[in-house]
């Protein structure tokens, strides 16, 4: 039992389901990229950090190509909880990605604004190819169409926490994904 269990209204994705889906996504990527000599995984901090760690390890276990791990931090300006699509880089890539096969590892695609900006940015840095793996997608919240080749779970337009996803920087360590009780937002 974690301290956070009392704050969760309901679990929508269990630890076991997260593990199974991560392995499935890794197998698909390993098969599709079987002929490349290396893959550069780009994690968008902070939400995707758990998924990046587990996905990259699975990719190794299922015989994927050697990977390099890169991290970016971006902040999207918006009003309240809405993202505006105006993105500022807080932490850039540490190395040149020109000529490399890149996979963006995202936790969640909500409006799609962050990812849409990021894809243009990575392409402008002359990556050889850019694909996206996103653990969660909210199909009904999408504002800009973004090509997400690998999707873990399509979920309803509700605010979720856990497995890297926060509310006010908390709940990232929750091992499953769930919806908070309404009273948590009144504190
Ligand atoms: O599709 P969008 O509407 O653009 O939303 C998706 C983005 O929002 C979240 O990041 P957040 O800004 O909450 O930062 P964090 O990962 O550091 O918590 C998530 O990690 C995605 O990067
Ligand atoms: N924690 C969290 N961050 C998000 N960013 C975009 N959608 C979500 C969500 O449902 N939960």
- ipTM of this predicted complex? 0.95
| pLDDT reading at 79 higher than 80 | no
**Across all residues in the chain, what is the average pLDDT?**
94
Cβ(104) – ligand 2 distance below 6 Å: no
66: CA distance to ligand 2 center in Å? Answer: 30
The confidence band for 72, taking pLDDT boundaries of 50, 70 and 90, is: very high
> 124 CA to middle of ligand 2, Å?
27
pLDDT score, position 83 = 62
Write down the pLDDT at residue 107: 97
Structure confidence by residue, pLDDT tens digits, 90-106: 999 999 999 999 999 99
Assess if residue 82 is contained within a domain. Answer: yes
Q: Which is higher by pLDDT, 58 or 86?
A: 58
Classify residue 167: in a domain, yes or no: no
Residue 87 has pLDDT above 90, yes or no: no
Q: What is the pLDDT of residue 75?
A: 85
Is residue 26 assigned to a domain?
yes
Ligand 2 center to 120 CA (angstroms):
22
CATH number at residue 55: 3.40.50.2020
Rounded to an integer, the average pLDDT of 28-46 is 97
What's the confidence (pLDDT) of residue 64? Answer: 97
CA distance 51 to 5: 21
Task: Based on the residue annotation, tell me whether 110 is a catalytic residue of this protein.
Answer: yes
Q: Does the pLDDT value for residue 80 go beyond 70?
A: no
Q: Residue 92 CB: number of other CB atoms within 10 A? A: 13
Q: Does residue 113 lie within any of the structural domains?
A: yes
pLDDT above 70: percentage of residues in the chain: 95
Q: Is residue 29 part of a domain?
A: yes
Please state the length of the chain.
187
Domain that holds residue 87: 16-156
Q: What is the 3-state secondary structure (H, E, C) of the chain?
A: CCHHHHHEEEEEECHHHHHHHHHHHHHHHHHHCCCCCCEEEEEEECCCHHHHHHHHHHHHHCCCCCEEEEEEEEEEECCCCCCCCEEEEEECCCCCCCCCEEEEEEEEECCCHHHHHHHHHHHHCCCCEEEEEEEEECHHHCCCCCCCCEEEEECCCCCCEECCECECCECCCCCCEEEECHHHHHC
Residue 148 resides in a domain: yes
pLDDT at 76 > cutoff 80: no
Instruction: Tell whether 161 is covered by a domain.
Output: no
Ligand nearest to the CA of 113: 1
Structural domain total, the chain: 1
Model confidence over 146-166: pLDDT tens digits?
999 999 999 999 999 999 999
Is residue 177 situated within a structural domain?
Answer: no
Query: Using a 6 Å cutoff on CB, does residue 141 contact ligand 1?
Result: no
* 29 CB within 6 A, ligand 1: no
Report the pLDDT averaged over residues 172-184: 98
Ligand 2 contacts CB of residue 160 (under 6 A): yes
Q: Output the pTM of the full model.
A: 0.94
Catalytic residue among 7, 54, 110, 131: 110
């Amino acid at each position: 039992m974690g301290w956070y269990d009392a704050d969760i209204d309901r679990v929508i994705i269990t630890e076991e389901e997260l593990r199974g889906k991560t392995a499935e996504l890794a197998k698909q990527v390993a098969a599709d990229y079987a002929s490349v000599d290396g893959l550069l995984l780009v994690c968008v901090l902070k939400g995707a950090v758990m998924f990046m760690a587990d996905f990259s390890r699975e990719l190794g276990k299922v015989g994927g190509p050697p990977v390099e791990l890169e991290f970016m931090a971006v902040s999207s300006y918006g009003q309240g909880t809405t993202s505006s699509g105006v993105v500022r880089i807080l932490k850039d890539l540490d190395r040149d990605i020109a000529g490399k096969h890149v996979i963006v590892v995202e936790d969640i695609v909500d409006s799609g604004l962050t990812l849409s900006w990021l894809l243009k940015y990575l392409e402008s840095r002359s990556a050889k190819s850019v694909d996206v793996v996103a653990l969660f997608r909210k199909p009904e919240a999408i504002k800009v169409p973004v090509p997400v080749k690998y999707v873990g779970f399509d979920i309803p337009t509700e605010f979720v926490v856990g497995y890297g996803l926060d509310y006010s920087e908390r709940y990232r360590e929750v091992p499953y994904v769930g919806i908070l009780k309404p009273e948590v937002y009144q504190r």
